Amino acid sequence: MPVKRDNMSSIQSLAAHRGAFRIFAALFAALVLAFGFQAAYAQSTLESGDLVAPVPAVTPPAALEQIDPAVAADVADPDAVVAGADSYSPMAPVEGKGMPSDGLLDIQDQFSEDGRFAYDLHIGLVWMMTLISVFVLALLLYVVVRFNRKANPVPSKTTHNTLIEVVWTVVPVLILVAIAIPSIGLLARQYEVPGEDAITIKATGYQWYWGYSYPDNGEFEIISNMLDEEEALARGEPGQLAVDNRLVVPAGVPIRLQVTAADVIHSFAVPSLWFKLDAVPGRLNERLLEIEEPGVYYGQCSELCGARHAYMPIAVEALPMNEWRAWVRAQGGTFPEDEAAAAEAEASLPPLQGPESAVPGAPGAGAAPTEDTSPTT
């Protein structure tokens, strides 16, 4: 029966093909597990043409000189640039700090405690996945070589091995528990409530720009729009990330960053500060933000919010406390102690009218009535 034999051989070759296909699929899956995750986490990098004109890694005070004073004066409110040691001019960014860089595969360097914790967890997970993938790949290769039809013509008929089954159930459970502990820890950290001493700053998403207001400092608001690419590059800032007025905050102290929106849902996200919070109209979301060192940190609106969603970047400038205070003053802002001082000064003034000038017996003057004089019915 030649027809049947042909059928048999084609079935056999099909089965052989399937076997090979499965092996390749498993190899591919292992590779994806090992490297895909990290790639998915990688920050999208800017086209090399978009990249920042090289800015030497200098400390902020020296970097300030790089900006043309005329340009600097244009960056913030003109009032912001005042004479004297405390005058503000926008800090020059350091390439690779607080921004994506060309060819970067990993997440950006982190400048908050949560960010560094999350980064360490991420790297630990990548290693764990790599080890597991390599281990599974090695087992697969061993089986392919040692137990193929040629090397092992009479297969074993073993179907159970209690010890191995217990091990391959318990070990993955332990691995998952080991991952869950820091993972839940990270989740809890991100919900940490800012303390009472935290400085409140509010970011509001608009179509399509950001507004930053300072409720603790007299409620003034800064409006922040994206700079043209050419202008940004001319100022030594990354294209499509630079803005005219930055969100200026103090470094090294807890900030209660409140996020909301005026029209549609936006999202306030700065990767290098491990900060992402949805800006929802009619709702005030807040999170603790503590930036470890002064610097410029870039982010973007991360919720599809309409036609110009891609053009509402975020630039956070963290300043040392004294410089931030000077900046607030230059914007016309106040501090809580101003009110206290004003109240104290008022209390220490002599009374405007001496008590002896009151007419004796006049209504409201003298002692409180001792008997009920209200009309009775």
| Closest distance of CB 339 from Cu ion, Å | 35
Establish if 266 lies at the interface with Cu ion (CB under 5 A).
yes
| Closest distance of CB 208 from Cu ion, Å | 6
Of 5-13, 125-133, 261-269, 317-325, the window that binds Cu ion (rule: CB under 5 A) is 261-269
Number of residues lying near Cu ion (CB under 5 A): 3
Establish if 46 lies at the interface with Cu ion (CB under 5 A).
no
Q: What are the two backbone dihedrals, phi and then psi, of residue 144, each rounded to the nearest 5 degrees? A: -60, -45
Of 32-40, 196-204, 270-278, 298-306, the window that binds Cu ion (rule: CB under 5 A) is 298-306
* Distance from C-alpha of 238 to C-alpha of 121, rounded to nearest angstrom: 29
Cβ proximity to Cu ion: between 268 and 324 the closer is 268
Question: Cα separations (Å) of 49 from 31, 52, 103, 124, 359?
Answer: 32, 8, 13, 34, 83
* Distance from C-alpha of 81 to C-alpha of 72, rounded to nearest angstrom: 8
Cβ proximity to Cu ion: between 309 and 325 the closer is 309
Helix (H, G, I), strand (E, B) or coil at 270: strand
- Tokens (6 digits) for 16: 């052989």
Of 30-38, 39-47, 303-311, 369-377, the window that binds Cu ion (rule: CB under 5 A) is 303-311
Sign for the pseudo-dihedral over CA of 243, 247, 251, 257: negative
Of 123-131, 304-312, 337-345, 356-364, the window that binds Cu ion (rule: CB under 5 A) is 304-312
Cβ proximity to Cu ion: between 92 and 301 the closer is 301
Judged by CB under 5 A, which of 301, 315, 316, 328 binds Cu ion? 301
- Tokens (6 digits) for 250: 């103090």
Establish if 305 lies at the interface with Cu ion (CB under 5 A).
yes
Q: What are the two backbone dihedrals, phi and then psi, of residue 200, each rounded to the nearest 5 degrees? A: -90, 130
Count the alpha carbons within 13 Å of 170 in the hemisphere toward its beta carbon: 6
| Closest distance of CB 272 from Cu ion, Å | 19
| Closest distance of CB 295 from Cu ion, Å | 24
Altogether, the residues listed in the chain come to a count of 377
Of 8-16, 80-88, 237-245, 295-303, the window that binds Cu ion (rule: CB under 5 A) is 295-303
CB 266 within 8 A of CB 279: yes
Cβ proximity to Cu ion: between 61 and 306 the closer is 306
26 contacts: CB under 8 Å, gap ≥ 6: 140
| Closest distance of CB 255 from Cu ion, Å | 21
Applying CB under 5 A, the residues found at the interface with Cu ion are 266, 301, 305
